[in-house]
A = this chain, B = another copy of it.
Amino acid sequence: MRLSEGVEWALHCCCLLASLPTGSSLPAARLAEFHGVPPAYLAKHLQALSRAGIITSVSGPRGGYQLARPADGITVEEVVDAVEGRTRAFRCSEIRQRGPAGGPASWYPAPCGIARVMWEAEDAWRRSLSGHTVAELAAAGVEATPREGLERAVRWVTEFTR
């Protein structure tokens, strides 16, 4: 099991956008530069966030991305789902119906016990993620950064904020 690298990028981008003054935006190219990641590929993930209604895009000069809602209303689960898709990690292929001892689907009205246990664990994972918001992450990030880094970040961001 493994999560896409885009999840990390998307969360960091959301944190940065959450730190911007309300109403201002930042182009995808600047977001990529700030985080040191490939601009074209990051754009792909930002589009996914846009489709999911987490960020909104502004076209043309002085355009860019901004959070679609207050950061304390955006959960980590939403961001992960937007990038990774909402498909389950464990997919039951109904093995029990196959093989010499298997039977028709009508024999098994309830879902497979193995799938139930795996999905229950995924629900626990989702519950944990939904308990944290982007606002919380952004605050923790500021807290964990030395003064000099924060000052550099603020200078850089104010230079390019629209």
Q: Is A40 part of the binding interface, using a Cβ–Cβ cutoff of 8 Å?
A: no
Stretch in contact with the other chain, from A21-29, A47-55, A66-74, A124-132: A124-132
Contact residues on A (Cβ < 8 Å of other chain), bracket: 35 or more
A62 located at the interface, meaning its Cβ lies under 8 Å from any Cβ of chain B in the complex = no
Q: Say yes or no: B113 contacts A144, CB within 8 Å.
A: yes
A76 in complex: contacting residue of B99, B117, B141, CB < 8 Å: B117
Residue pair A132, B117 in contact (C-beta under 8 Å): yes
Q: Report chain B residues within 8 Å CB of A117.
A: 76, 129, 132, 137
Enumerate A5-42 residues with CB–CB distance to B below 8 Å.
5, 7-9, 11-12, 15, 33-37
- Beta-carbon contact of B90 and A7 below 8 Å: yes
Q: Is there an interface contact between A127 and B125, defined as CB atoms closer than 8 Å?
A: no
Question: Nearest Cβ in chain B — how far from A140, in angstroms?
Answer: 4
Query: Is B144 a contact partner of A108 (Cβ separation < 8 A)?
Result: yes
Residue of B nearest to A11 (CB): B114
Residue of B nearest to A109 (CB): B144
Q: Which residues of A pack against B, CB within 8 Å?
A: 1-5, 7-9, 11-12, 15, 33-37, 76, 84, 87, 89-93, 95-96, 98-103, 107-108, 110, 112-114, 116-118, 120-122, 124-129, 132, 137, 140-141, 143-146, 148-149, 152-153, 156-157
